[in-house]
Each structure stands twice: as C-alpha cells, then as structure tokens.
Amino acid sequence: MRNCSKWIFDLDGTISDPSVGISRSINYALVHHGFEECSREQISSLIGLPLDQMYYRLATDVDERQISSMVDKYRERYLEIGFSENVMYDGMREVIDELHQLDSCDLGICTSKRNDIAEKILQMFGLTDYFGFVSGGEVGISKSQQLAVLLETSVISGRSMMIGDRSVDILAAHGNGLQSTGVLWGYGSRRELEEVCAGHLSDAPRELLGYLNAQAR
C-alpha cells in the first residue's frame, strides 16, 4: 500500500443518485409547513449539503425551530419510502466490489445522512458488509467535524482519502489533512471541484477504480 489506509466514500451523488427521494421528501415537508414546492432542479443543486442548510436556502423567513420541524417531517417520509427511491450509479457496484477485495485499503462511508438512514440504503443495495464503518451526520454537524471525530477515535488515519461529488467533501478532507478525490457524475460541477483543489477528478466509476487501484499499489 502506497498512499491510503482507508477510502472514505460520500453516499449521495457518489455511490447513489438520491434526487427523486430527496426532492419528494423535501417538498413533503415544505408543503406541510405552508410553503410552496420547489423544483427538482432547485433541490438537486443543494444535494450534498446538510438538511438544515438545504431548508434555509429553500424556505424564506424561517427560524431554527421551523427548520428543525421541517427536518423531522422530511425524515418521516424519507425513512418510510424516500430511501428506497435511491438508484445506484451504473458501475459503482463493480468499483466497490473490486476495492473490497483488495487487502491494501478498507472502505468506509461519511455522509450527511443520519446513520440509520445511510445503513438502510446500503442494506437495500446489498452493500452493508463492504464498509467497515458508517459516519452519519446530524443537524448542525459538518462533514469536517465528522472526519475529525473519525481521526480522533482512530477509525481512520491521516493517510485516508475522501471521495465525493461536492466541494463540502473536498474541503472537509483538506481541513483534516486528508487526501481527496472528486467524482463528476454527481451534483458538483467540474468547476466547483477544481476551485477547491480536489486531488483528482474522475469522470466515470471505471476511471475512479483505475485511479484508486494505482494508489493502492
């Protein structure tokens, strides 16, 4: 192993496309609280951010109590049906399967989704046994804080790499002294990822696999 002790994958926009379930669940909560629905395009542009930040950008004149209530309402639908509307990106099962067979690097998940939700999605895809840990988010907790806890508790080392589709993934990695790789099939643009100096950009899962295999030698 040359560079990495653990590969840490984002979930939304990296392993699976969550846009249908997220959009429907976001709007379910907005309508319940008296707001108009937002377009799928509006919502998709925010995928990857924590839920509270999404609602602050989609709803006007809201306070912390309302945001918390909307997050709860979102999760009501998402836990019941929204999670099952996720679709794994073509090629990602093969990437995860091949990487899992390597002895040189372990796999983990770091997502803004709550742990139980992330684990339901991994179970639905039959991927639970491929990942050694799942770090899920909570309202008010940034991905950078999640990675910091993983480092502090020695779940990961400073030689680990974060793999994600948004600038928040890359910045969280860099803020904790970790390597980063950006993927371009999710919700972050090439420009977004280049501006935060992602260590490498992959256009397709097969390309990502080749890059990570090279890093493991």
CB 38 within 8 A of CB 27: yes
- What CATH number does the domain containing 126 carry? 3.40.50.1000
Asked if 12 and 59 sit in the same domain, the reply is no
Query: pLDDT digit string (tens) for 103-135?
Result: 777 999 999 999 999 999 999 999 999 999 999
Please tell me the distance from the alpha carbon of residue 96 to that of residue 183, in angstroms, as a whole number: 14
- What CATH number does the domain containing 25 carry? 1.10.150.240
Query: pLDDT digit string (tens) for 25-67?
Result: 999 999 999 999 999 999 999 998 888 999 999 998 899 999 9
Please tell me the distance from the alpha carbon of residue 81 to that of residue 148, in angstroms, as a whole number: 32
Predicted local distance difference test score (pLDDT) of residue 139: 80
Query: pLDDT digit string (tens) for 198-209?
Result: 989 999 999 999
Strand partners, 109: 9, 134
Last-in-domain residue among 42, 59, 85: 85
Asked if 46 and 118 sit in the same domain, the reply is no
Please tell me the distance from the alpha carbon of residue 70 to that of residue 15, in angstroms, as a whole number: 26
Please tell me the distance from the alpha carbon of residue 113 to that of residue 138, in angstroms, as a whole number: 7
CB burial of 35-52 (b: ≥16 within 10 Å; e: otherwise) equals beebeeeebbebbbbbbb
Q: Determine the structural domain holding residue 26 and report its residue range.
A: 19-85
Residue 2, pLDDT above cutoff 50: no
Mean pLDDT over the full length of the chain: 94
Predicted local distance difference test score (pLDDT) of residue 4: 59
Query: pLDDT digit string (tens) for 3-25?
Result: 556 999 999 999 999 999 999 99
Predicted local distance difference test score (pLDDT) of residue 123: 97
Q: Is residue 1, in this structure, part of any structural domain at all?
A: no
Asked if 176 and 101 sit in the same domain, the reply is yes
Q: What is the number of structural domains in the chain?
A: 2
Predicted local distance difference test score (pLDDT) of residue 60: 87
Give the residue among 153, 158, 163 at the shortest CA–CA distance from 108: 163
Predicted local distance difference test score (pLDDT) of residue 7: 95
**Angle, vertex CA 146, rays to CA 58 and CA 164, nearest 5:** 65
Last-in-domain residue among 51, 68, 85: 85
Residue 1, pLDDT above cutoff 70: no
Give the residue among 143, 48, 43, 64 at the shortest CA–CA distance from 72: 64
Asked if 53 and 93 sit in the same domain, the reply is no
Query: pLDDT digit string (tens) for 161-176?
Result: 999 999 999 999 999 9
Give the residue among 212, 217, 186, 188 at the shortest CA–CA distance from 200: 212
**Beta-strand pair 87-88/16-17:** antiparallel
CB 121 within 8 A of CB 134: no
